[in-house]
Amino acid sequence: MTDMLGLLVLAFVLGMRHATDVDHLAAVTTIVSQRRSAWSAALVGALWGLGHTTSLVAAAIAVIALHTQIPPRVEHGLEMGVAIMLIGLGINLLRTLGRGGALHLHPHRHGGGRDHVHPHRHAPGERTAPHHHEPAIGRRPFWVGLVHGLAGSAALMLTVAATIPSARLAFGYVLVFGFGSVGGMMVMSVLLGGPMAWVVHRFAHAEWALSGLAALGSVTVGVAMVLGG
């Protein structure tokens, strides 16, 4: 029993550590950079973690139940898929910033709320049009996590799980690892998104700069993965 608990604790810790991989942070930062609160950033991290865990469980069914391993060629292809996704996320964010309207300040209210001022962006020629404080989160973090779930150290985790004699314990190891990645990414998303939201609320042009840096970082990590592969 002690050995089993120790193994599951290790899985949780490794899952949290897995969330700090550079490619994971680069992808999530492109989404978090457009958030306006720590709660919203945490939700992005949770959705990423759920997508990540979903693909891990699906792969574990094959790896553990069939006693097989992910072939190196397939693993390399998955890594390249992550790299292409990072480059695409960065380019898409740069395009969004490039075609966005002017960032500005003016007093306004939403519905029956109180008057307030914050930096925001309207489409060109619509400086008084209705707007939202931030774009809807949607399903993108989930799909990004889904792609990440089979690459990098997650593939190594599945190899370790395949060596556990008990199939039930091996699946438990995978699930706890997944829960750890959810918690780890939620923490990292708050640590990234909280300060970003603070800066954006106080400096009118910080949104464009932070989002641009996040996009360039995502493209850089993606290109480095392609060249390193």
- DSSP character string of the chain: -HHHHHHHHHHHHHHHHHTT-HHHHHHHHHHHTT--SHHHHHHHHHHHHHHHHHHHHHHHHHHHHTT----HHHHHHHHHHHHHHHHHHHHHHHHHHHH---EE---B-STT---B---EE--TT-TTS---SS---TTHHHHHHHHHTTSTHHHHHHHHHHT-S-HHHHHHHHHHHHHHHHHHHHHHHHHHHHHHHHHHHH-TTHHHHHHHHHHHHHHHHHHHHHHH-
pLDDT at position 228 is: 84
Map out the domains of the chain as residue ranges.
2-104+136-228
Between CA 184 and CA 21 the distance in angstroms is: 11
Between CA 135 and CA 152 the distance in angstroms is: 30
Check if the beta carbon of residue 116 is closer than 8 Å to that of residue 108: yes
pLDDT at position 217 is: 92
Give bridge partners of residue 121 from the DSSP assignment. 103
**One-character DSSP codes across 56-76:** HHHHHHHHHHTT----HHHHH
Phi then psi for residue 10, to 5 deg, are: -60, -40
pLDDT at position 103 is: 46
Averaged pLDDT, groups of 10, the chain, 229 residues long: 81 87 87 78 89 86 74 81 91 81 50 53 49 60 85 66 81 89 91 80 73 90 88
Q: What is the pTM of this model?
A: 0.74
